[in-house]
Structure 1
Amino acid sequence: MNQRRINKQNNFYYMTGALVVLLLSASLAKSLMGGMLESLLEGVIAITFLVCVISLGVDKSWKRFMQVLIVIWLLTAISKRFVTIPHLDLFMLGLMFAFFWGTFSSIAKQVLFSGAVSGNQVVGSIALFLLLGLMWALVYLLILALSPNAFSGIEHSAWGQNFSQMAYFSFVTLTTLGYGDISPNTPFAQVAVYMEAIAGVFYMAIVVASLVSAGLAQKSTQQEG
Structure 2
Amino acid sequence: MINRHLLFYRHRFYRHLFLIATGVVASMGVPFPIHRIGALGTVALMVLLSVELGGPIRAHQTHHRWPDTAYRRLGVLTLLFQLLWMCSPRDFAFVGFAVLLATTAFIFWSLKRLLICLAQETQIRMAVLGGAVAGYLLLGISGGLLFGALETVAPGSFINQADGGRELLLAGLGADSAAHRIWDLDFTRIHYFAFVSLTTVGYGDIIPALPPSQMASVALSISGPLYLAIVMGLLISRYTLQSEKQEIRDWQEGAPGPPPHSGADSDDR
What's the TM-score, normalizing by structure 2?
A: 0.65
State the Cα distance separating 1:171 from its structure 2 match: 0.8
Q: Which of 91, 96, 101 is the aligned partner of 2:103?
A: 96
The reply to whether residue 67 of structure 1 matches residue 72 of structure 2 is yes
* Distance (whole Å) between structure 2 residues aligned to residue 78 and residue 138 of structure 1: 14
In structure 2, the partner of 1:155 is: 168
State the Cα distance separating 1:167 from its structure 2 match: 1.6
The reply to whether residue 49 of structure 1 matches residue 69 of structure 2 is no
Q: Which of 197, 200, 211 is the aligned partner of 2:224?
A: 200
* Distance (whole Å) between structure 2 residues aligned to residue 24 and residue 63 of structure 1: 31
The reply to whether residue 181 of structure 1 matches residue 183 of structure 2 is no
8 Å CA contact retained: 1:18, 1:51: no
* Distance (whole Å) between structure 2 residues aligned to residue 170 and residue 87 of structure 1: 21
8 Å CA contact retained: 2:85, 2:182: no
* Distance (whole Å) between structure 1 residues aligned to residue 187 and residue 132 of structure 2: 23
In structure 1, the partner of 2:148 is: 141
The reply to whether residue 217 of structure 1 matches residue 241 of structure 2 is yes
* Distance (whole Å) between structure 2 residues aligned to residue 63 and residue 30 of structure 1: 37
Structure 2 counterpart of 1:17, which letter? Answer: L
In structure 2, the partner of 1:3 is: none
Count of aligned positions? 216
Provide closer, same or farther for how the CA distance between residues 210 and 49 of structure 1 changes in structure 2, counting only shifts above 3 A: same
Q: Which of 17, 20, 36 is the aligned partner of 1:18?
A: 20
Greater RCO (Cα-Cα under 8 Å, separation 6 or more): 1
Provide closer, same or farther for how the CA distance between residues 206 and 69 of structure 1 changes in structure 2, counting only shifts above 3 A: closer
* Distance (whole Å) between structure 2 residues aligned to residue 213 and residue 91 of structure 1: 39
Provide closer, same or farther for how the CA distance between residues 219 and 197 of structure 1 changes in structure 2, counting only shifts above 3 A: same
* Distance (whole Å) between structure 2 residues aligned to residue 78 and residue 159 of structure 1: 10
Aligned CA-pair RMSD: 3.4
State the Cα distance separating 1:216 from its structure 2 match: 0.9
* Distance (whole Å) between structure 1 residues aligned to residue 107 and residue 197 of structure 2: 19
SS of residue in 2 equivalent to 1:180: coil
Q: Which of 6, 11, 17 is the aligned partner of 1:9?
A: 11
1:159-188 Cα deviation digits (max 9, x unpaired): 542533222111112112222221112344
What's the TM-score, normalizing by structure 1?
A: 0.75
Q: Which of 113, 121, 124 is the aligned partner of 1:117?
A: 124
The reply to whether residue 108 of structure 1 matches residue 112 of structure 2 is no
8 Å CA contact retained: 1:53, 1:67: yes
Which has more radius of gyration?
A: 2
1:22-61 Cα deviation digits (max 9, x unpaired): 33345547225xxx95xx5654333222233344344345
* Distance (whole Å) between structure 2 residues aligned to residue 70 and residue 113 of structure 1: 23
The alignment-based identity, stated in percent, is 21
147-156 or 14-23: which moved more? 147-156
The reply to whether residue 31 of structure 1 matches residue 28 of structure 2 is no
153-162 or 192-201: which moved more? 153-162
1:53-76 Cα deviation digits (max 9, x unpaired): 344344345653343235435555
Structure 1: 5+ residue stretches without partners: 1-5
